[in-house]
């Protein structure tokens, strides 16, 4: 949950860092002058000398440090391998967008972000965030590769509900990254974030998975409805949006999207869309041009409290409590009722109402799934035929 005092920022960048040269001395009187050597008998004593290491002791410590550094260097070698492996697959994106009204005499603005090359449904594409390219024409989107080439996408697709976009590329010698399969990421796992913070392309930062299942972030205009973010302390800054979050096997486990920050820069709280959602959305966008989501047909309790859970015979509030059921919807057909608590959906244990909405939204349609509910102080298994959300909304 994001504290009220912390802003959650989407991570595209508007400008590059300017690196200044060395500062010039302002006052010649402040210059340092060398101390002149004094003459006299050479009988002065260094009072700290007995506490210092001898030359032999220093050599022994150097040898010990080298031996003990070997396992750490083997770990560092893996990070270097991953950087070399992923560098050709990570791209820098510049998108020029037309302003709704002139601003300071300008009619357009440029935004920068990142992306990762992947193979989806037999096509080579770049996966990135929708907010990086939203509002830009295809010819105004520049994709810069590691080898210096600059490409334009042949077509693009995007999904408002997850803030993901897919850009199709047609070029030779493209190196797709490997997308992880399934949700194997655990809290505490080591991850790398790769992208273009502040326009500094192919920057690599290291961190861990700090948390999973962040679902109540206020992003942009609130259009990102389906959330299940990975939280990481790997440094993510403006310009990292759309870049990959990578595990130690070199597999993409997420797409970096946002940060919680009071300053606008990295404060150790970054968020990435998990690869399970990335795969679900990207495959449908490439195959169908849009995302078809499942629909359950229930209204849920947004504030399922401890007293309410006790009243229903539960030890604690867990799952999603049903407040009403849409007539004629899948839930009604499966006899889901008011005050039922949905504990599992298609094999996934449900934490709360936001979690259920995301899980249902990432479920394939035209199938029946097993749903576990709590009713009359007992668990019950029922089969629910999920429908298409577009048929009801």
Torsion of CA 280, 281, 286, 290, to 10 degrees: 130
Of 97-106, 175-184, 382-391, least confident by mean pLDDT is 97-106
Domain limits of the chain?
65-289, 294-391
- The mean pLDDT of the chain is 87
What pLDDT does residue 3 have? 35
For 197-245, the pLDDT digits (tens) are: 988 888 999 999 999 999 888 876 667 889 999 999 999 999 999 999 9
Q: Please identify every residue annotated as catalytic.
A: 131, 163, 241
Contact 294, 389 (CB under 8 A): yes
In 3-state terms, what secondary structure has residue 266?
Answer: coil
Mean pLDDT of 359-368: 91
10 Å CB burial of residue 74 (0-12, 13-18, 19+) is exposed
CA atoms within 13 A on the CB side of 97: 17
Which CATH number is 294-391's, of 2.30.42.10, 1.10.150.120, 3.40.50.300, 2.60.200.30?
2.30.42.10
Say whether pLDDT at 15 is over 60.
no
Mean pLDDT of 15-39: 47
Question: What is the CATH class of 65-289?
Answer: mainly beta
Q: Same fold for the domain at 65-289 and the one at 294-391?
A: no
Full-model pTM: 0.81
For 273-311, the pLDDT digits (tens) are: 999 999 999 999 999 999 999 999 999 999 999 999 999
For 180-203, the pLDDT digits (tens) are: 998 889 999 999 999 999 888 889
In 3-state terms, what secondary structure has residue 135?
Answer: coil
Mean pLDDT of 38-48: 63
Beta strands in 3-154 (DSSP E): 7-10, 90-103, 106-120, 123-129, 141-144, 150-151
């Amino acid at each position: 949950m994001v504290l009220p005092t912390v802003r959650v920022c989407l991570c595209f960048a508007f400008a590059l860092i300017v690196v200044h040269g060395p500062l010039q001395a302002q006052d010649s009187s402040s210059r340092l002058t060398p101390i002149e050597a004094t003459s006299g008998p050479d009988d002065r004593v260094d009072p700290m000398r007995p506490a210092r290491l001898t030359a032999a002791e220093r050599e022994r410590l150097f040898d010990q440090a080298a031996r003990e550094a070997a396992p750490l260097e083997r770990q560092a070698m893996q990070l270097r391998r991953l950087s070399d492996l992923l560098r050709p697959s990570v791209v820098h994106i510049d998108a020029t967008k037309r302003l709704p009204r002139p601003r300071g005499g300008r009619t357009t603005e440029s935004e920068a972000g990142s992306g990762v090359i992947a193979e989806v449904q037999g096509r080579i594409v770049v996966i990135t965030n929708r907010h990086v390219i939203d509002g830009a024409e295809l010819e105004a989107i520049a994709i810069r590769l590691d080898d210096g080439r600059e490409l334009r996408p042949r077509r693009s697709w995007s999904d408002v509900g997850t803030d993901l976009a897919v850009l199709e590329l047609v070029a030779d010698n493209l190196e797709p990254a490997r997308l992880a399969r399934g949700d194997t990421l655990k809290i505490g796992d080591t991850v790398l974030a790769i992208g273009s913070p502040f326009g500094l392309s192919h920057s690599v930062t290291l961190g861990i998975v700090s948390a999973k299942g962040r679902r109540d972030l206020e992003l942009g205009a609130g259009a990102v409805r389906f959330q299940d973010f990975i939280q990481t302390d790997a440094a993510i800054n403006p310009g990292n949006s759309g870049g990959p979050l990578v595990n130690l096997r070199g597999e993409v486990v997420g797409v970096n999207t946002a940060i919680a920050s009071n300053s606008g820069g990295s404060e150790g709280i970054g968020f990435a869309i998990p690869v399970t959602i990335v795969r679900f959305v990207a495959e449908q966008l490439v195959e169908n041009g849009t995302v078809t989501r499942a629909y359950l047909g229930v209204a849920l309790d947004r504030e399922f409290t401890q007293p309410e859970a006790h009243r229903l015979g539960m030890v604690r509030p867990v799952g999603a409590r049903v407040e009403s059921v849409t007539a004629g919807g899948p839930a009604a057909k499966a006899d889901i009722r008011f005050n039922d608590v949905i504990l599992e959906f298609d094999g996934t244990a449900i934490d709360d109402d936001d979690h259920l909405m995301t899980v249902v939204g990432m479920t394939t349609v035209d199938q029946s799934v097993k749903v576990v509910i709590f009713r009359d102080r007992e668990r019950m298994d029922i089969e629910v035929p999920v429908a298409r959300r577009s048929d009801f909304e």
